[in-house]
Amino acid sequence: LGTIAGGAYQGAIDAARSGVLTIFAAGNDYNRNNPDAISGLAYFVPEIAPNWLSVAALQQNPDTASANPYVISTFSSRCGYAASFCVSAPGTKIYSSI
């Protein structure tokens, strides 16, 4: 964490250690089986896991005959090793946050 980019990692770790819920997108790496490094950081620093959340993106299932109305978006990374502190939520066709 001794680099300029490492400062973001350390800042996120410090926030989580201070009790701040720290949320990251799992990543946009086109179906990669694991999240981006910062999103999965609580796997490597387990004491921050209670205040860490990784989020994978869902989209409507194009297979309308399927029992599952949503699937992981084609662009989204998956929870992978971060599964214990990861959720999935709609990540496409979000028109407003109001």
Question: Residue ranges per domain, the chain?
Answer: 4-90
CA-based R_g, the chain, Å: 15
CA 83 vs CA 33, 56, 76, 92, 93: distances in Å: 11, 10, 14, 21, 24
Residue carrying structure tokens 């028109």? 95
Residue carrying structure tokens 């250690």? 17
Residue 70's CB is within 10 A of a number of other CB atoms, namely 16
Q: Provide the pLDDT for residue 98.
A: 66
pLDDT at 31 over 70: no
Q: Provide the pLDDT for residue 5.
A: 63
Per-residue pLDDT band for 20 (boundaries 50, 70, 90) equals: very high
